[in-house]
Structure 1
Amino acid sequence: MTTLIIEDEELTARKLGRLLVEVDPAVRVVGTTVSVDESVEWLRTNPRPDLIFMDIELADGQSFAIFDQVPITSPVIFTTAYDEYAIKAFKVNSIDYLLKPVKEDDLRQALAKLQTLRHVLTSQTAGMGSLEGALATLLQQVRDASVAAPVTTTVVLAHTSTNGTYRERFMIKQGQRLFSIGVDEVAYFVTRNKMSFLKTRDDSEWLLDYTMDELAQMLDPQRFFRLNRQIIAEMRAVDKVHLYFNGKLKVILRPAFDEEVVVSRERAGDFKRWLGE
């Protein structure tokens, strides 16, 4: 089964590729793209993959824009750190919606769902047209049913950690020395050049061996909020919030961050509720 991975975090893409092969050795990753434009170009110039794994938030926009620029007949499994796009995801060729970091059991179930659909359609459409056409018809039926039914309840449950607890400390390596930092000392987490860092309240910064998606699942959502793809902030680190253009919010952090921190219009409502609006 050929697979295209659309994911702008290199480490996340590599981990997903390895996990796919572990779950199903028959899977062959034939391409990895990191943006809307690159994905559109790849889909226009390469054979149709059997399956697409698609992150929603890409560096140059949301991946839903890909569907507006190129026909996609392959089934799609969305991967995202957020749950607010579930309804929208099921309006396109989506057979599943997995929250990051992707768990092996969730991935296995999603691939099993695809194989079941293919098996059923192969037996039902023999001599009656293409499997791809039949799959597209069934996906449309699934989308109609999914939009009519509430899908966010099961997705939101993924905000809790697997064992019901959240990380309280992070191990730091400095040369040959190891020490730990408690979450009470953390102001925010930030990613730069595809590496993640922990920023403490006293303005120290330490390298971490986790992606931002993994960190988002480890942290208590009552205390930490993912402001955007680059920053996860602890509540006390939010110094000021300003209204920004087009419904966005501009956040001033403490300790100060060296770039402008903006919360998207889609996330602004959740952010204000998190702050206690």
Structure 2
Amino acid sequence: MKVIIIEDEALAARQLKTMVQDCDETIEILAVLDSVEASVAWLSTHSAPDLLLMDIELVDGQSFEIFNQIEIKSPVIFTTAYNEYAIQAFRVNSIDYLLKPIDEDALRRSLAKFQELKKIYGTTQDNPLDIDGLLHLIKQTQHGPSEYRDRFLLKQGARLIPIELHEIAYFYSQERLSFVKTWDERAFIIDYTLDELECLLNPKHFFRANRQFILCPKAVDKIHLHFNSRLKIDLRPPTEEEVFISRDKSSEFRNWMGE
């Protein structure tokens, strides 16, 4: 796999390069670029790499400007210290969005996700990568007609399954992994942290209950008054974890539920 790193901080670029090669030693880093200008110049005069690892804030502007100047024919994993760019990232060729400091496990999952997409769209000499088909899939699954996500592409064994948002009861974290629970009680691993998901979900339809759960209102089966002004929530489908709303968030939660 041939990769370009676009990162304006020299130390961060070196660390990311090392981390990428630790994840997969067969990856070839073609170039490390530090600006919009340098990226446009390189991408205009070279064949498209398999993947771009792209910081958002560069020395001469935001990397989104690159897309305004030239046609990008490569999928992108964005890296940034700012989660407010998530929606904008998914309007372009993004297959993932990693918050700094980059976690190696998260990077490894992002690279694995890209490899799974490549399997669908061909990677052999006789069946080269259909980049147009891949980018079409990315854009279809990564953003809908509104600013927020309306579907996710989730892995189940060797398959990638599109799951519509209306099929999802809640998101939860367990042992450093994030999961989706559907109304028919299926559970899928999802390659986003709950912090990242919170940026991608419409807050009218999903509520961050605590560090472990993001809920849709129909998933709230019962609400119990609990000690110290907390609320205890029974979910459907049921979960083995006890779900609590803190005293600080209980008023916000009640308003969200329509009290």
Q: TM-score, normalised by structure 2?
A: 0.55
Q: Which residue of 2 aligns with 1:55?
A: 55
Q: Is 1:154 aligned with 2:195?
A: yes
Q: Which residue of 1 aligns with 2:42?
A: 42
Distance 2:30 2:96 in 1: 20
Distance 1:10 1:2 in 2: 20
Q: What amino acid is the match of 1:93?
A: N
Identity of aligned residues (%): 47
Q: What amino acid is the match of 1:133?
A: D
Q: Which residue of 2 aligns with 1:71?
A: 71
Distance 2:15 2:8 in 1: 13
> Alpha-carbon deviation of 1:101?
1.2
Q: Which residue of 2 aligns with 1:136?
A: 135
Distance 1:144 1:157 in 2: 15
Distance 2:194 2:62 in 1: 23
Confirm or deny: 8 A CA contact 1:83 1:152 kept in the other structure.
no
Unaligned runs of 5+ in 2: 151-191, 200-210, 212-259
Distance 2:53 2:5 in 1: 5
Q: Is 1:28 aligned with 2:69?
A: no
**Deviation readout 1:82-135 (Å, 9 max, x if unpaired):** 100000000000000000111110000000100111112229xx98x9611211
Q: Which residue of 2 aligns with 1:10?
A: 10
**Alignment of structure 1 residues 110-189 onto 2, 5 Å:** 110-122=110-122, 131-145=130-144, 147-149=147-149, 153-155=194-196
Q: What amino acid is the match of 2:133?
A: A
Confirm or deny: 8 A CA contact 1:86 1:152 kept in the other structure.
no
Number of equivalent positions: 156
Q: Which residue of 2 aligns with 1:240?
A: none
Q: Which residue of 1 aligns with 2:102?
A: 102
Over the aligned positions, Cα root-mean-square deviation in angstroms equals 2.6
Distance 1:39 1:115 in 2: 24
Distance 1:15 1:26 in 2: 17
Distance 1:68 1:153 in 2: 30
Distance 1:44 1:95 in 2: 22
> Alpha-carbon deviation of 1:144?
2.4
Confirm or deny: 8 A CA contact 1:90 1:147 kept in the other structure.
no
> Alpha-carbon deviation of 1:17?
0.4
Confirm or deny: 8 A CA contact 2:121 2:129 kept in the other structure.
no
Confirm or deny: 8 A CA contact 2:3 2:28 kept in the other structure.
yes
Q: Which residue of 2 aligns with 1:178?
A: none
Distance 1:106 1:30 in 2: 22
Distance 2:37 2:193 in 1: 29
Distance 1:30 1:94 in 2: 19
Secondary structure (helix, strand or coil) at the match of 2:84 reads: coil
Distance 1:147 1:116 in 2: 26
Q: Which residue of 2 aligns with 1:215?
A: none
Distance 1:29 1:157 in 2: 32
Distance 1:91 1:10 in 2: 28
Secondary structure (helix, strand or coil) at the match of 1:84 reads: helix
Distance 1:137 1:155 in 2: 23
Distance 2:148 2:198 in 1: 20
Unaligned runs of 5+ in 1: 159-163, 165-277
> Alpha-carbon deviation of 1:71?
0.5
**Deviation readout 1:219-272 (Å, 9 max, x if unpaired):** xxxxxxxxxxxxxxxxxxxxxxxxxxxxxxxxxxxxxxxxxxxxxxxxxxxxxx
Q: 1:103 to 1:157 in 2, by over 3 A?
A: farther
Q: What amino acid is the match of 1:137?
A: H
